[in-house]
Amino acid sequence: MVNQVTVFVPASIANLGCGFDIMGMAVESAGDILSMEMSDGDGIEIINRTDYDIPASVEDNVMTPSIRAMLAAAGVRKHLKITLMCKIMPGSGIGSSAASAAGAVVALNTLLGNRFSEKEMIEFAMEGEAISSGGARHADNVAPAIIGGIVLICSYSPFEYIRIPFPATFCAAIAHPRITVKTSESRAVLPKEIPLKGAILQWANVGGLVAGFMNGDMGLVGRSMRDVIVEPYRKQFIPGFDELRERLFEAGARAFNISGSGPSVFALCDNVKKAEELCIIMSEHFQSKGIDADALVALGDNRGARVIF
Ligand code: HSE
């Protein structure tokens, strides 16, 4: 049996506008690379070879609960040495913590002889992702990170999801303004109850979004990828959010939303050339506010986490 494996895990955009905590998609433009070595013994060792800081204690790392849950379910004790080689920037809003949790479970499952299903891996990964969300278990980043494509969570209890492949014309522009927005904080500002009028709009949009993706109708996708429930509370964290949306729509964007809990934002459009134009607009916008931003063109990743060697 192999005792060492290296995996790549793609970045992901959660919520997709109206689908708070139930929809997400994998994008191939960024991702994590980690290797895992399994030996006899006990304990988890994490070596960080990336440019970014990770929690000082193994106990605080999102990988740890996911690994422990999988080892317990497998009924085995092992020592695991994990080396992080490439990391999505933590706190960027494109699934950095999800990629770590997803990478850990995909690597461990490989070393355990692929004894767990995709669905079980997603559930293990959710255990780790919950750390960065103030305890909330959600799969809208970890599910697409593991299985690729667009994922709709139909139910959390019992856990059920469907995967939708990307329409051929799918293309997005993502911008990451260098500001800090913690997921736990951006969840804390959300209301516990929502008005019926807003709920009706939101579930109409979720229906339209899923139908649009499944039929490859990007017009419908764009019109439906709107969030009237969560965004009004979160856009305060992103300077000039409404102004930027207006500029992007004038330039031909089909949709514009916060990526997950932010601070990254993304615009949907029809082709790479348009996405490049939208990236420039987003970068200039944040620069005009005195904020550095990284922007990238994002194509869908239909493969999800994979063993690379
Ligand atoms: N659905 C989550 C949120 C994604 O918006 O808070 C970020 O983890």
Shortest-distance atom of ligand 1 to CA 186 = 6
pLDDT at 135: 74
CB 24 within 8 A of CB 150: yes
Residue with CA closest to ligand 1 atom 4: 260
**Predicted TM-score (pTM) of this structure:** 0.95
Q: Is 45 a catalytic residue?
A: no
Determine the distance separating the centroid of ligand 1 and the alpha carbon of 22, expressed in angstroms: 9
Helix (H) or strand (E) holding 48: strand 44-48
Is the CB of residue 52 less than 8 Å from the CB of residue 87?
A: yes
**CA angle in degrees (0–180, nearest 5) for 14-297-33:** 65
Q: What count of other Cβ atoms lies within 10 Å of the Cβ of residue 47?
A: 12
pLDDT computed for residue 69 by the predictor: 96
Three-class SS state of 214: helix
**pLDDT at residue 130 in the model:** 80
Amino acid at 188: A
Kindly report, residue by residue over 211-224, the tens digit of the pLDDT. Answer: 999 999 999 999 99
Distance 261 CA to ligand 1 centre (A): 5
Q: Which residues contact 171 (CB under 8 A, 6 or more apart)?
A: 268, 269, 270, 271, 272, 274, 275, 297, 298, 299
Per-residue CA distances from 6 to 17, 46, 53, 104 (Å): 33, 14, 20, 10
Establish whether residue 133 lines the binding site of ligand 1, counting it when its CB lies within 6 angstroms of any ligand atom.
yes
The band of 192, judged by pLDDT with boundaries at 50, 70 and 90, is: very high
| Index of the ligand 1 atom closest to the CA of residue 97 | 8
Identify the pLDDT of residue 132.
76
- Among protein residues, the one with the nearest Cα to ligand 1's atom 1 is 21
Rounded CA gap, 266 and 176, in Å?
A: 9
Compute the distance from residue 74 Cα to the ligand 1 centre, in Å: 29
CA distance 184 to 248: 28
pLDDT category of residue 267 using cuts at 50, 70 and 90? very high
The token pair that represents 40 in the structure block = 């006899």
CA dist., res. 130 & res. 133, Å (int): 5
In eight-state DSSP terms, residue 80 is: E
Q: What is the DSSP letter of 94?
A: S
pLDDT tens for each residue of 133-175: 777 789 999 999 999 999 999 999 999 999 998 887 889 999 9
CB atoms within 10 A of CB 290: 7
Category of 304 on φ-ψ map: left (φ > 0), alpha (ψ -120 to 50) or beta: left
Confidence of residue 94 (pLDDT cuts 50, 70, 90): very high
What number is the average pLDDT over the span 53-67? 92
Ligand 1 centroid to 126 CA: how many Å? 12
Predicted pLDDT at 169: 80
Cα of 8 to ligand 1 centre, how many Å?
22
Mean pLDDT lowest for which of 65-74, 137-146, 165-174, 189-198? Answer: 165-174
Q: Model confidence at 1, in pLDDT bands (50, 70, 90)? A: low
Distances from the Cα of 306 to the Cαs of 5, 28, 68, 107, in angstroms?
Answer: 10, 12, 21, 9
**% of residues, the chain, pLDDT over 90:** 89
Least confident of 43-57, 247-261, 276-290: 43-57
CB atoms under 10 Å from CB of 119, counted, come to 14
169 catalytically annotated: no
Going by their DSSP bridges, the two strands 4-14 and 255-258 should be labelled as unpaired
What pLDDT is attached to residue 260?
96
Ligand 1 neighbourhood includes 140 CB (under 6 angstroms): yes
Percent of the chain at pLDDT > 70 equals 100
17-56 tens-digit pLDDT = 999 999 999 999 899 999 999 999 999 999 999 999 988 8
From the list 123, 129, 180, 284, the catalytic residue is 129
Residues 105, 120: Cα–Cα separation, whole Å: 10
User: E-assigned strands of 87-158?
Assistant: 150-156
Res. 72: pLDDT tops 80: yes
Question: Does the beta carbon of 141 sit less than 6 angstroms from any atom of ligand 1?
Answer: yes
